[in-house]
Amino acid sequence: MVLIEHSNLEEFQDPVNYDLEFADEMDKYQFYLELARSSSGEVLELACGTGLTTIPLSKAGITMTGVDISSAMIAYARLKAKGLTVTFMEGDARTFESDKRFSMIYLTGNAFQAFLSDQDQSDLLTTVHKHLQPHGIFAFETRNPEGTDLSDQEETEWGSFIDKDGNNVKVSGTQCYDAGQHIMHWVTMRDWGYKRTTSRIACRFTDPNTLHALLTRHGFCVEHQYADWDKTPFSLSSSSIISVCRKC
């Protein structure tokens, strides 16, 4: 996932190590592949990053287009996709324009939370609705505020990964929630052994009722909402809201 606010782009300057840290979500790839196969047409991923989901779908025979605002991430996606029939384009999901109409459009990696204002969300959904074929599929996931710990937290350990040079990188971070704006501010610290880096990211939380009303208002019918990639039915205590919609 690559976020669209320029203040959020700090996390996405090193695409090779980004992949090494975040490339192990195979259940997600299968979920979106099944949806894409059911749509029987060309598929667009918005906020595609380095193509972590776009490329597996392309390898499975889906005609794919990926759009992202980060030139570094798109450049690496193109390098990885050499020889595949997939198109990567640099662009902003709020203002993206194409003559194509897609059978399915999706965002993943909680990219929906990158749209930090009402206007951002509206612009995104307007883009999606415009570029979908009649009755086309729109799918995305977002963290559920009702099932997420939104309390302020001091630095805690989040995990680790092996970087491109074989270093074990320890990842930790802090969080601070702005309840008035519904925005979580995360600061991520990575200890590379020989250096320590810091990056910041902000994500908006949208409650289930507001989300449903927002989708309906922009011309989408919500067909399914799941709690996980195994299609467990969503409940108010679920940590994620995975929405599958149709253009009405």
Q: Which residue has the higher pLDDT, 191 or 2?
A: 191
- Residue 1 in domain: no
The dihedrals phi and psi of 59, each to the nearest 5 degrees, come to: -65, -25
- Interhelix angle 118-131/208-217, rounded to 10 degrees, is 50
Task: Read off the pLDDT of residues 45-95 as tens digits, 9 standing for 90 and up.
Answer: 999 999 999 999 999 999 999 999 999 999 999 999 998 989 999 999 999
Instruction: Provide the edge-to-edge strand list for the sheet that holds 240-247.
Output: 86-90, 64-68, 43-46, 102-106, 132-143, 240-247, 220-226
Q: Is the residue at 89 inside a domain?
A: yes
Q: 175 is in which domain, residue-wise?
A: 147-203
Name the pTM for this structure: 0.93
Residues 15 and 112 in one domain: yes
154 shares a domain with 103: no
- Supply the CATH number for residue 76's domain: 3.40.50.150
Percent of the chain with pLDDT over 70: 96
